[in-house]
Chains A and B, each alone.
Chain A
Amino acid sequence: MDETPDKVTIRLTQQQIEILDRLKHQGELGDEYPEILMGAFRRYADHSLGKGRFGNVGRA
């Protein structure tokens, strides 16, 4: 089994970073940009990837 961490490099505009700063200030998703971004992604996935009410993009 491959134990290599599954990492992805993300490039954001400073304007997108401003939004992460706002989320950081709200305090719900974490303090660091990676955890805030992944927290937002997981919420999207919960709602949109067949896990919630917003539609299904491929889950059986």
Chain B
Amino acid sequence: MQYGDMRENLVLEPVSGKALPVYKGETLRIIQEVGGQCVDFDCFNLHDYREYMSVGHMRRQGIRVVQGDYALSAPPRSNLMMWIAEMPESCVTDLIGSRCSPDLFEAAWDFDIHTNCQDTLAESIGEYGLSPDDTHDSFNMWMNTGWDDRGRWDIRRNTGKKGDSVDLLALMDVLAVPIVCGSGDVTGISNYSLKPIRIQVFEGSPETELATEEHLHRFGRLKNQRSLGDYRIQGIKTDRELRRDPNYEPRFPNFPLRFEEFEVELTPEDRKDVDRMKAAGKADDDEDAIRSGAFNWFTAFNTEPSPFANKPIMGN
């Protein structure tokens, strides 16, 4: 894709970061200046900091996003924030590992203070008046971790090579916050050394603006991508104490639930299948077997592909 002119080009020395606006249709490039450096990334809606990237919801695309996936904002906004336009295979991503923090290094190795992503993110966004509490779990790039079925993890060698780069196309005006991960000298996440990264921002071009509109047209039109005007409470609470509002009445969706009952008739083959499911521990009773099987099929084969929806696999 052809980008516009480069308007930012800076090196982030270890261990530092930078919050910088990237406007809709522009592209942020993150480059391995030396290689083997883990990069943490966060972003905010530039015009409303309460809308921010949610790696938890990005995980619906998989715990390792790849080229073609999206950075998404947290519900109920649920907007496309950035699109991963380019990402080399050397950039293994991790959406589970969160961000390293000073408590980790004190607890593990008794450091009074050690470079860490929490503090680097906080210091970076401070330029825009945001506090340490405004940091979020980060989208981790060049973070080669392994996860087993029990959720335990291990760190593998960083495979980033000098010059490797990731391009993120902004689908809204964002405050982008790329930082050098601070854990890499005492963990293997950056191969036991801390290196600089380079950041570039390219202006929009007719091609990127067209691509932006295509992404928004495809995935940016859900009724439940809500805006501030949809909220019952629209203000930002400024005092820290939580106090109960005795007049507040929650309005849970579709509450109380409504039900419908009907009878189905099983063929001898259906009966065998229902009994097999129960015997295999996949259903507690006949009703559970039929309902679970039917909706398992529905969710596996009738779910529209979307960055907002999990990619289910049938068989449970």
Contacts and interface: CB of A to CB of B under 8 A. Distances in A.
A48 B265 contact: no
A48 to B, nearest CB: 5
B303 to A, nearest CB: 11
A12 B263 contact: no
B315 A13 contact: no
Contact of A10 (B264, B314, B315): B264
A7 B270 CA distance: 11
B266 interface: yes
A57 to B, nearest CB: 4
Contact of A13 (B258, B267, B296): B258
B254 interface: yes
A19 B286 CA distance: 21
B107 interface: no
Nearest to A17: B260
Contacts of B63: none
Nearest to A22: B302
A16 B265 CA distance: 19
Contacts of B265: 5-7, 34, 38
Contacts of B273: 41-42, 45, 49
Interface string B264-304: 11111011011011011010001100110111111001100
Interface residues of B, number: 37
B261 A9 contact: yes
Interface string A1-37: 0000111111111111101001100000000011001
Nearest to A14: B258
B262 A49 contact: no
Main secondary structure, interface of A, reads helix
B242 interface: no
A10 B302 CA distance: 21
B259 interface: yes
Contact of A33 (B262, B280, B315): B262
B3 to A, nearest CB: 41
Contacts of B276: 49-50, 57-59
B263 to A, nearest CB: 5
B222 interface: no
B314 A47 contact: yes
B1 interface: no
B295 A40 contact: yes
A2 B33 CA distance: 77
B271 A6 contact: yes
Interface of B: 254, 257-268, 270-271, 273-274, 276-277, 279-280, 282, 286-287, 290-291, 293-298, 301-302, 313-315
What are the 4 A-B residue pairs with the smallest beta carbon separation, nearest first?
Answer: A57-B280, A40-B294, A44-B297, A44-B293
